[in-house]
Amino acid sequence: MPSRPFCSWVFYFCEIFLKLTGNIKAIYAGCKRCFSKLAHSKCYIQNLEQFHIRAYVITPIFVGQKLWGLLAAYQHSQPRHWEVSQISFMSQIASQIGVGLQQAELLTQTRQQAEQLAQTLHHLQQTQTQLIQTEKMSSLGQLVAGIAHEINNPVNFIYGNLSHINEYTDNLLKILALYQQDCPNPSSHLLKLIKEIDFNFIVEDLSKILSSMTIGTDRIRQIVLSLRNFSRLDEAEMKPVNIHEGIDSTLDILQHRLKEIPNSPEIKLIKEYGKLPLVECYPGQLNQVFMNVLSNAIDALSERVNRSGNGENCQYQIPNPQIHIRTEVLNYNRILIRITDNGVGIPTDFLGRVFDPFFTTKPVGKGTGLGLSISYQIIVNKHGGVFKCNSQQDVGTEFSIEIPTQQQ
């Protein structure tokens, strides 16, 4: 090997090391002449001399096959002969930094992918919930509409003929009254029959029966109207509606659950309706929300009554189980609906999960965990509103629904 200056030997060694490793550049700077041999620019050499750099080692940091940066070691005091072990140590440090950076990037990517998967899972869960509830409510709506239609036809037939029956009955009774006047002394056979059938009671009770039939058929017609109003299959689009009509229709459907039954007192219903404007909404979907919230309130009251009635001669711990419905205008374009019960309440640990899909505090087989989740999506996502739950265990629960009167 030809003779050369000491610094040249170092340059020569670094060139060989660079060729062997492919990822190291080592430079020994002992004098301006040595800098020049590396074909550095004049400006770069001036910078080295300005900071009194007499020797340095620079090694690239690769992340994969991409150059990420440089790792440099400088010596200012005097020229230095870099040992192979020192250069190798610098190379190993740069390699470890590159590996660490690559692992950090992979970790970041993994976390991002995990977040994306979690979001995808959440969206899939929401979609599954919506599909299940949509299919369920679609089937229920069709069933309700079908039943309402089938009941409506015969009831209308009866209701329409009751007025004629009343008229005919009045005419017959008038004829009988005139006949009694014209024939004050009927035969013994006729007197016997009049006594057997209790004719006077029939005459008196017949008008009452016809009046009861009229009231009953009118009630059936109201229920049918409530069923049609609740299903609203022909009102899938957003339109201005009377919110109170939707609440009342839902209450009509749930009326049988509010009445007193053995071992369970009547649930008192308190309505404080404010003067609300027409609200632009999806009527059928909003009625679903009312149904879910009111059903949960009735379930909570029933559960509290059942708990208090397990012991012998145990009186109700709720002397007046009640549901309180309040409506009011918050400002010129938003309304508030509050539905409060004095049932069992919801444990504090569960309050943050009441709107989660498939979460329920009810026993197995008595709840799907979809009602409040779907209601939340209807209020928040479909109507741009706010749906909140405030509850205290063994005191009661309040659901508040806030929606704009007009959608953007």
Residue range 186-198, pLDDT digits in tens: 888 888 888 888 8
What is the mean pLDDT of the segment spanning 333-346? 91
- Between 80 and 297, whose confidence is greater? 297
Gyration radius of the chain's alpha carbons: 44
3-class SS of residue 74: strand
CA 172 to chain centre: 63
Query: How high is the pLDDT of residue 315?
Result: 43
**pLDDT reading at 157 higher than 80:** yes
**322 in Cβ contact with 363 (< 8 Å):** no
Q: Is the pLDDT of residue 25 over 70?
A: no
Using CA atoms, how far apart are residues 199 and 195, in angstroms rounded to an integer? 7
The predicted pLDDT at position 226 comes to: 65
Q: How many CB atoms lie within 10 A of CB 161?
A: 12
pTM: 0.52
Average pLDDT, whole number, for the chain? Answer: 77
Q: Look at residue 41 in the predicted model and tell me its pLDDT.
A: 58
Range with lowest mean pLDDT among 112-126, 267-281, 378-392 = 112-126
Average pLDDT over residues 318-332: 86
The confidence score (pLDDT) of residue 22 equals 46
pLDDT of 139 > 70? The answer is no
Average pLDDT on 69-85 reads 80
Q: Which of 127-136, 345-354, 372-381 has the lowest mean pLDDT?
A: 127-136
Say what the pLDDT of residue 263 is.
Answer: 73
What pLDDT was estimated at residue 369? 65
What percent of the chain clears pLDDT 90, i.e. is strictly above it?
14
Q: Which fold has domain 6-82?
A: Beta-Lactamase (3.30.450)
Which residues on neighbouring strands pair with residue 327, listed in sequence order? 337
Question: What's the pLDDT band for 231 if we cut at 50, 70, 90?
Answer: low
Structure confidence by residue, pLDDT tens digits, 247-284: 998 898 888 888 887 777 889 999 999 999 999 998 88
Q: Where are the beta strands (DSSP E) in 109-188?
A: none
Q: What order of strands is seen across the sheet that includes strand 386-392?
A: 268-272, 322-331, 334-341, 396-404, 386-392
The DSSP-derived string for 324-388 is EEEEEEEETTEEEEEEEE-SS---GGGGGGTTSTT---SPTTS--S-HHHHHHIIIIIIT--EEE
Strand partners, 264: 261
CB contact set of 152 (below 8 Å; sequence gap of 6+): 221, 224
The sign of the CA dihedral 19, 25, 30, 32 is positive
Across residues 66-71, what is the average pLDDT?
81
CATH number belonging to the domain at 237-408, selected among 3.30.565.10, 3.40.190.10, 3.40.50.2000, 3.40.640.10: 3.30.565.10
